[in-house]
Structure 1
């Protein structure tokens, strides 16, 4: 096949030899007839007349006047005007404008659908006009080159000069300029004056350019660019576009701000942008905010979209009382499509240098994340609040700086495996060097569990049609000196079966656990092994009007205990077997109605649950340790709520088989929308009726339990939920004791608002009635050292995140303790969210709960702070504490952050 250039020359010669050559051979070649400006009225027009020279080696051309109107050019020769009713398009704007201003459309000119797709905080968006010229759907390499202009001229047979509103199109590539020279020897087009080069997703402008028509690369002087999908723009003294679509900017800028905004941008000696792989690099780059340089780096790599790319991430800068200035500079390694690595050097002014590392791996069946951090020889911090306590003699120097010269570290593994497989695996492991690690150091770039109990768990499992097997090892690291440390489960094995024979259901539950404890020797804690069997046979019959589910069960519990710390004479292998029976039944009634013109369906759902469990004396587990403690590896009393009415145990865990003879009665009514079936309101009320006393307890012997008077019925449990309009939600849970105080013993209520714009408002109240205790100190500061101390929990909480005006929003929280008349936390702040940056300023006052171990909790001092966070959209943020504070303080704020960028 002949080279493309040779074919072009042959086509030119054929056209010229035919005697049909128009004003320039290139124009005929490109299938376009470009008319020159008329010299006279419309009854004549100018036309080229070309004749071969005497030697046949050249052409002699001149213009002649011909009668009649000029040939009407096809519409596609200069491009059809796009018809867009929702917004103006680029073809309506002057070509001298920078690229970003050409395709930018203000919000008031956008359609409703386009407004919804706007970036939050923006006052408009980029609208790319459709390409409607001929062959616009083709790749330029497979499409002919077409051209039109007001004037044209042929120079030395090989160069066509087009002037005045020049338009070149080749497939989906479209080029406009005031003047173009096309050289058929080199395939180079030289452009001058208000240049505009457009391809799908890309717009380039400039004052002068060179374009290789065949290869597609270009050099543009005094250029500007716009990449629509990533919403990035900038300018350059010289811009080169390679044939792989990479942009190289000499003396260029990069930003995601709206046109005419210089809020922030990167300016570099050379910037390279790869829109295809969504990555950018730069040499001698500085970050400028409002034209003021604030950061310099000799080299940088940054993302221009959502794809991963190696390079420095934006540094995090924060400050705290205990650590001082904290600067972290993450570097991201995009090692392969399925794994990566992030290294984060940190400098903490009052503690020293540390390093954080995180690596991720994703395969067809596994997802794994490994994290670690290390700080060598902690310098101890410099917390002024702690220094004040030292000066007051409340704590010692060693208590204030317990980790001076100590190495501090973190290790974490998060693994999930077995996607779409019958087997699965799970690892959730986090461990730190000390219980104050997160309070003192937190994390700059790691996403790890930072609760008061750090789980260290590994699980392997397998599922089949009828069986589910699981092998688990689990322990916890406790980060609070006042909290107890759970037992280790090394291992725990579960094998559960479920068979369905029509309406008959057979369940087979097996569990074996080996319990160990890190303090078993120092605290004389009993360890051992436990096995549990739970077999059940139920008849589950359901109809449209109700259900009926009777069943029989048997539960077996046995131990093999280490006798080293057992009480003298205690049984080291107790076992118990208890038969049980239950009947669960309910009815569904419904009726239609209307209220204020709105139709609804109301249901009435009575439910009865009878449960019987034979008494088996389990006193062998009470006072069975050498210290007088009970055998209790993982069990606790369940908090009574409406949902507990229909459980077959009053305990969480497996260390007791409770005896019972009771009937639970529950009534529920719902209001539903007839068309959608959506629940608008529901209310439930229930109570347990006891037919016999309960004798099994976690901490008391049976005879001691039975010696106490027991009630014939439980407290009343109620819960209410309502949807008010489209955005309001109301929920409440109440426990009312009619037997003792005839008062509410526990209750909570919350009113929440959330709309499509993620405006948030939360109002909640919580109450727990507790018996008072005798206070032997002076907790209230009134001089009385022997009085009843109120232990009731009564707290109110209000929080919101709400727009004020324009791009401004406010955030607030007030958490108040009504029992002791004190503020637990007060927070107020403002947020400004624009198209290309966002900042938050928050003032906060809170109780220093970290000191609860060294001073009385009612005498806690209030900490105060002002927090600032600044985020450059598409580049990074300075500080991360504000986001964490607001996510913990305002219900729904974390989801808001995931949906608003």
Structure 2
């Protein structure tokens, strides 16, 4: 069987290969023999043939026929229907199959690429040979007229058409020389195969040697929307193909905004690869990039070679150019080497190695910059000029080597055992702020992760061995404890149909990189959490009682413990819970729309024995309490039904409470889709809560929060209006103790099929200020800025404004400090051919966060430009990352 590739070069090679010569030879033989049906169809003439006198040849004469004309087969008519008008035959390959958007069906419009105004559509064939293998089907040919000249040359003229299986060839004229083995197709030559259309003025080939030449050729590859032209396409006796003055683009017909052109492109069909010489990237007819030599693939396989360069500019680095080189080392692993030059920092190298096996998927990345030139940050230079910081503080890494290493691995694919590695290391805290990454997929934030995990999932048990460490790369962020290691053995048994036994065991060893410098507590922790529940569910409700026991034991390192502190405390407590709820339903209608409404009351009772844990409070020389991985949870509706008010495992709750929640939903009865839901709940406390992360029991009894008999009200609302609008909101309101709103958020989001995105959100969280009790004046000075209340609004949109033009914007404002956090506005143009974005942005300069107070951060302003060539790459990628992070739902538009 013939392999049908969607790539131009392999299609050309297939059309011209020696194995295809027989069908052209057959065409020549057919043209020299009586072909009454073909000729008589239009002219109503017949060949009158009889044996010669010697019996070795035929003698044929043409005569007019008075009989009814022979009717052509239906498949011939179908083949001619797409190009029956002479005017259409003069079109290029791309223009011939281009269908404007207004002529497409709704299903075809869905298949259009973003920004396109039409679609390439191949004409359909309904004849019996439309999908047949050319090797297994005969040649079928038609023409308005055929003539035998000098007994060795056949000339067919007027709408010459030939088919052999799925391959089609047409021209105005065909001349076939049986003696020399030459064939010449002239005038509007067209070669069509599934996924490929090739046109030209002249198709000259030698049937004996296989050498061929197509003049003034154009081509179209439907699947990838790639099109182009060449002054000629030649095929030598060694089966290599040469395109002279070839071009490549993805733009729609008539639009050559960008064009990749090469003086010579040579293709080796045996290796499925090509070589381009003197390639130029033209934008609006202006050459912007020149590549003297480029290798590329002519099949679906990957091929080593240069990728399109990335060009950008930054405030502190200057011009940034990266030219990646891809190495296809084997079918299951490859490498990308990316030489990079940053004008104000120097030359560096980034590399990425990917490997895939039946059990592992691995990516290893690295980057190295030797002898950093220091960059040129104008805001830091202002501080130097004003004497606020020194030159060394402004350029702390000048002359230093900067580097990055990352490994990401997923193991145990489709197996009971599994593994994960997520390890990132950098040379310094400011690496990502100074360098970012031009070609590596490495996540960056205030912390970088170093973790490894190995596990095994048995029928009832899940075993995990994990080592984890987070490294802070911001002076404003605390560094979490290392867990070296964390070992879990969690069991789960289902007895009968409703009884569930859970046996969770965890051992963790905690260390810290600053343990000695900051006199931090380190040690080991063992936590056991066993439970038995009965889970019964009905259509109208559920009933889930349970009992359990939790125990907690430590072994601390003695180095920083206070004198007399217990270095191996242990605690245990029994627990019980009951979770139950009912579901009531009723049908209703509003504005002639039917709906199903539910009312769902829920009760959750939780009891945990009191266990004094004061031995964990302020037990080091610097009064540190034990909170290796724990913190207080922010109160919300979902917390009403949790069995702990802490995250992590450093405390066992003392609790005796009942949570009451009421939920009502409105559902679409046709598909069960939730249109609206509203929930309201509160916790009723029957005992005081004296176990806290940083307070003794005596101190907790002086804390109003520990003594309250009822929690705040917690409410949440969601609404889906149509298919585009979604409203979410939640609020926590203290109606008893402080009579105020303690927190809440609301968001309104819109997204439709026309790529329109709109977001409006508000967030509020009240945090009590810390009073400095050592201040003699007790003036209420807030000692920790991070504990101030948070109140922010965020507004963003991405909206079409005209044609292919879109507007993008974001405004983020902090009411607490009365300052703008970020604002941006920009426009983007997106069509089949290219995507360009222009964005003006103003934001807080976080690079100054280590040298000035947070409230003194200055604002940076910048204008960012990005030009993306469809299928090739683009100039600048920072704009895409900014918009992706700033506008919720932005990337979902495509």
Question: Structure 1 length as normaliser, TM-score?
Answer: 0.91
Preserved contact between residue 154 and residue 161 of structure 1 (Cα < 8 Å): yes
Query: Structure 1 CA distance, aligned partners of 2:878 and 2:323?
Result: 16
Distance (whole Å) between structure 2 residues aligned to residue 817 and residue 714 of structure 1 = 28
Q: How is 1:872-887 mapped onto 2 (pairs within 5 angstroms)?
A: 872-887=869-884
Are 1:518 and 2:513 matched, yes or no? yes
Q: Secondary structure in 2 aligned to 1:364?
A: coil
Q: Distance in 2 between matches of 1:586 and 1:615?
A: 27
Offset at residue 737 of structure 1 (A): 0.9
Q: Which residue of structure 2 aligns with residue 470 of structure 1?
A: 464
Given candidates 399, 403, 412, the residue that maps to 1:405 is 399
CA–CA separation in structure 2 for the residues paired with 1:529 and 1:243: 76
Change in Cα spacing, 1:537 to 1:5, as seen in structure 2 (3 Å) is closer
Cα distance change on mapping 1:4 and 1:871 into 2, 3 Å? closer
Distance 1:30 1:874, change over 3 A: farther
1:299 is matched with which residue? 293
Over 3 Å counting, the alpha-carbon distance change for 1:848 and 1:393 in structure 2 is: same
2:612 to 613, 617, 623: 617
Please point out which of 546, 555, 558 is paired with 2:553. Answer: 558
- How far apart, CA to CA, are the structure 2 residues paired with 1:275 and 1:227? 17
- Partner of residue 710, structure 2: 713
Q: Secondary structure at the match of 1:632?
A: coil
Distance 1:850 1:8 in 2: 71
Q: How far does the alpha carbon of each residue in 1:235-280 deviate from its partner, in whole angstroms, 9 at most, with x for none?
A: 1111147999996421111111111111111111123579999976
Residue 47 (structure 1) shift: 3.6
Partner Cα separation in structure 1 for residue 669 and residue 771 of structure 2? 57
Q: Distance in 2 between matches of 1:594 and 1:467?
A: 50
- 1:15 aligns with none
User: Does residue 498 of the first structure (1) align with residue 496 of the second (2)?
Assistant: no
Report SS of the residue matched to 2:621: coil
Structure 1 residue matching 2:40: 3-state secondary structure? coil
Structure 1 residues 598 and 194: alpha-carbon distance in aligned structure 2, compared to 1, 3 A threshold: same
CA distance, structure 1, for counterparts of residue 214 and residue 807 of structure 2:
46
Deviation readout 1:687-723 (Å, 9 max, x if unpaired): 1111111111111111221233421111111111000
In structure 2, relative to structure 1, the CA distance for the partners of 1:273 and 1:773 (3 Å cut) is: farther
Give the superposition deviation at 1:188.
Answer: 4.0
The separation in 1 between residues aligned to 2:296 and 2:115, in whole angstroms, is: 23
C-alpha displacement of 1:303 = 6.6
Supply the distance in 1 between the matched residues of 2:485 and 2:533 (Cα, whole angstroms): 31
- The alpha-carbon deviation at position 632 of structure 1 amounts to 1.9
Q: Is the 8 A contact 1:30 1:146 kept in 2?
A: no
Look up the match of 2:721.
724
Is residue 474–residue 491 contact of structure 1 (8 Å, CA) maintained in 2?
yes
* Comparing 686-695 and 388-397, the one that deviates more: 388-397
- Of 520, 524, 531, which residue of structure 2 is paired with 1:529? 524
Partner SS for 2:432: helix
Per the alignment, residue 281 of structure 2 pairs with 287
Residue pair 1:76, 1:134 contacting (<8 A) in 2 also: no
Q: Quote the Cα distance in structure 1 between the aligned partners of 2:780 and 2:649.
A: 43
Alignment match, 2:14: none
Aligned match of 2:816 in 807, 816, 819? 819
Aligned length: 867
Query: Displacement of 1:375 after TM fit?
Result: 0.5
In structure 1, runs of 5+ residues without a counterpart are 13-22, 777-783
Question: Cα 1:25–1:626, aligned 2, differ >3 Å: closer, same or farther?
Answer: closer
Aligned to 1:663: 658
In structure 2, the partner of 1:20 is none
Counterparts of 1:483 and 1:738 in 2: how far apart (Å)? 34
Q: Deviations over 1:476-512 (max 9, x none)?
A: 1101112111111111100001111121111101000
**Aligned residue in 2 for 1:68:** 66
CA–CA separation in structure 1 for the residues paired with 2:248 and 2:33: 41
Q: Retained in 2: the 8 A contact 1:27–1:34? A: no
Give the 5 Å matches for 1:206-605.
Answer: 206-211=200-205, 218-240=212-234, 248-272=242-266, 281-302=275-296, 308-501=302-495, 502-605=497-600
d(CA) in 2 for partners of 1:652, 1:785? 30
Q: Aligned partners of 1:730, 1:300: CA distance in 2, in Å?
A: 52
Q: 1:72-96 CA distances to partner (integer Å, 9 max, x unpaired)?
A: 242358442577xxxx778785322
Q: Is the 8 A contact 2:34 2:49 kept in 1?
A: no
Q: 2:685 maps to which residue?
A: 690
| CA RMSD, 1 decimal | 3.0
Q: Post-superposition shift, 1:128?
A: 0.6
Distance 2:294 2:190 in 1: 29
Distance 1:734 1:279, change over 3 A: farther
In 2, Cα distance between the equivalents of 1:817 and 1:217? 73
CA contact under 8 A between 1:34 and 1:73: conserved in structure 2? no
**SS of equivalent to 2:107:** helix
SS in 1 for 2:131: coil
Query: Is 2:746–2:762's contact at 8 Å kept on the other side of the alignment?
Result: yes
Structure 2 residue runs of 5 or longer lacking an equivalent are 1-17, 774-778
Whether contact under 8 Å (2:463, 2:490) holds in the other structure is yes
> What corresponds to 1:18 in structure 2?
none
Partner in structure 1 of residue 800 of structure 2: 803
What corresponds to 1:643 in structure 2? 638
Specify the SS of the correspondent of 2:559: helix
Report SS of the residue matched to 2:109: helix
Distance in 1 separating the partners of 2:170 and 2:529: 80
CA spacing shift, 1:31–1:503, aligned 2, 3 Å: farther
Counterpart of 2:699 in structure 1 is 704
Mapped to 1, the partners of 2:26 and 2:315 lie a distance apart of 78
Specify which of 90, 96, 101 is matched with residue 96 of structure 1: 90
Describe the SS at the equivalent of 1:819.
coil
Between the aligned partners of 2:229 and 2:120, the Cα distance in structure 1 is 17
- Cα 1:843–1:8, aligned 2, differ >3 Å: closer, same or farther? closer
1:753 aligns with 2:750: yes
8 Å contact kept, 2:23–2:139: no
Q: CA deviation at 1:547?
A: 1.1
Mapped pair 1:202 → 2:199: no
Does residue 1:836 correspond to 2:833, yes or no? yes
Give the CA deviation at 1:5: 11
SS of 2:88's partner is: coil
Larger mean Cα displacement after TM superposition, 378-387 or 733-742: 733-742
Residue aligning to 1:765: 762
Check whether the contact 2:521–2:624 (CA below 8 A) recurs between aligned residues: no
Shift in alpha-carbon separation, 1:651–1:25, aligned structure 2, 3 A: closer
Alignment partner of 2:670: what SS? Answer: coil
In structure 1, the residue matched to 2:135 is 141
SS in 2 for 1:707: coil
Partners of 2:22 and 2:749 lie apart in 1 by: 72
Name 1:16's counterpart in structure 2: none
Query: What CA distance in whole angstroms lies between the structure 2 residues aligned with 1:445 and 1:225?
Result: 32
Which 10-residue stretch deviates more, 718-727 or 143-152? 143-152
Q: Which of 850, 854, 859 is equivalent to 1:853?
A: 850
Counterpart for residue 40 of structure 2: 35
Residue 308 of structure 1 and its aligned partner are, at CA, apart by: 3.5
SS at match of 1:33: helix
Whole-Å separation in 2 of the counterparts to 1:617 and 1:407: 52
Shift of 1:34: 1.8
Alpha carbons 2:79, 2:125 under 8 Å: kept: no
SS of the aligned residue for 1:138 comes to coil
Give 1:9 shift: 13
Contact map agreement 1:331 1:343 (CA 8 A) in 2: yes
Pick closer, same or farther for the CA change 1:7–1:300 going to 2, 3 Å. Answer: closer
Kept after mapping to 2: 8 A contact 1:304/1:874: no
Change (3 A) 1:194 1:529: same
Q: Is the counterpart of residue 152 in structure 1 residue 146 in structure 2? A: yes
The question of whether the paired residues in 2 share the 8 Å contact of 1:93 and 1:102 is answered with: no
SS at match of 1:538: strand
d(CA) in 1 for partners of 2:699, 2:159: 101
